[in-house]
Amino acid sequence: MQAILALEDGRLFRGKAHGSFSERVGEVVFNTSMTGYQEIFTDPSYSGQIVVLTSPHIGNYGTSPSDAESARPYIEGLVVREFSLMSSNWRATEVADEYLERNDVPVISEIDTRAVVRHLRDKGCLRGVISTAVDDVDALVAKARAHKKMEGTDLASVVSTTKPYVWDAAEPKNETGDKLLPGADAEASAKTTLHVVAYDFGIKQNILRMLARENCRVTVVPARTSASEVMAMAPDGVFFSNGPGDPEPLEYAVQSVRDLKGKVPLFGICLGHQIFGIALGGKTYKLKFGHHGGNHPIKNLATGKVEITAQNHNFNVDPASLPADVVQTHTNLNDDTLAGLRHATDPMFSVQYHPEASPGPHDSHYLFRDFRKMMEDWKKR
């Protein structure tokens, strides 16, 4: 069956339909990762977005429950050059086509993804529609234009868990009861167990695994949980997760950071980092086409080392808006945007990328060790 990708500026791309033969609307972004497509599908930070993958061959190793970052895919649709209808991998339990069809995600293939990416790099992120209704293109363009923009949209509370749950190394599960990969390694298991309360704005499973590997017992809480409710759980540290959408509308999360600041160690990733920036007095802005991929170079300003990182965000903290007591710790070498910060006196730090990156790279795993050390030092006061 034929399919079409219609963008809000009238640009059209025609290809073949796979996955779910349905119609979905979203903001179109591109991801430059060479592997890890299932992790991309299931990253809640992609809620509301149609993803263009620049790697030309997708689906060849199928899908596996252990590769999922959440219980289901969150992408609105998928745009690829070649889409494999078979898998060649001993770990695969389902081919990608069946997996996306079962989860109602449309796919369009046989697309010149280089042309799509160049168009998005030139014009910026655009709203678009994937549809098999290929004859009424004017109506599809109109749908794209009428779709709500990402700016000003709170998606974090939409994808967040509805109730608290415990995730630990002994029996790691998510809120649906699905068992996950083992957590703590031998070295971390020898350390005292610490209690981390993690705000779920669209948290990825590998973040929970990484916290568990540092011998942390993790309680995951809904996005709108108050600081007083969190402190009543007696945490050794509080984590603010990644997630989709614009950070500006998340006043409830910003207030939680302000209320917790100085009372307990805080660590934020991606959307959590942006929330930290706002809570500390800064402002955020939307990037032209975002940072999405597993090959972004970040410089650690304290050590001078360069880390290759995975990233997935459309908004960024403006470093010029931050007060003097906020220290920039990392910078993005592609465009010099702010990639990490810490408070000069209070125990809190955050990064605008994914140190837990699954399947990789793993250059930034040390940040979870840094968080553990911060919690240990705080308990010794």
Provide the CB-side half-sphere exposure for 374 (13 A, CA).
Answer: 25
Q: Check: CB of residue 88 under 8 Å from CB of residue 116.
A: no
Look at residues 370, 21, 87 and name the one whose alpha carbon lies nearest to residue 211: 370
Tokens of 46: 């992609």
Do 270 and 231 contact (CB within 8 A), yes or no?
A: no
Q: What angle do CA 161, 163, 167 make, to 5 degrees?
A: 75
Beta bridge partners of 317: 284
In 3D space, the residue among 164, 182, 176 whose CA is nearest the CA of residue 66 turns out to be 182
Options 39, 214, 307, 356, the catalytic residue: 356
Identify the DSSP state of 333.
Answer: T
Up-side HSE of residue 361: CA atoms within 13 Å toward CB? Answer: 16
Element spanning 2, H or E = strand 2-7
Nearest-5° Cα angle at 10, 6 to 16: 25
Residue 354 is a catalytic residue: yes
When computed from its CA atoms, the radius of gyration of the chain, rounded to whole angstroms, is 20
Q: Which of 212, 152, 235 is nearest to 368 (CA)?
A: 212
Question: Is the separation of the CB atoms in 364 and 353 below 8 Å?
Answer: yes
Angle at 358 between CA 373 and CA 68, to 5 degrees: 120
Q: What's the rounded Cα separation, in Å, for the pair 157 and 117?
A: 30
Cβ neighbours around 306 below 10 Å, total: 12
Exactly one of 69, 270, 307, 343 is catalytic; which is it?
270
Place of tokens 């955020």: 284
How many Cβ atoms sit within 10 Å of the Cβ of residue 198?
26
Question: What are the two backbone dihedrals, phi and then psi, of residue 375, each rounded to the nearest 5 degrees?
Answer: -65, -40
Set 273, 292, 296, 354: catalytic member: 354
Catalytic-residue membership of 270: yes
Q: What is the C-alpha separation between 231 and 29, in angstroms, rounded?
A: 38
The helix or strand, by DSSP H or E, that contains position 71, with its residue range, turns out to be: none
Question: Catalytic: 313?
Answer: no
Catalytic residue list: 270, 354, 356
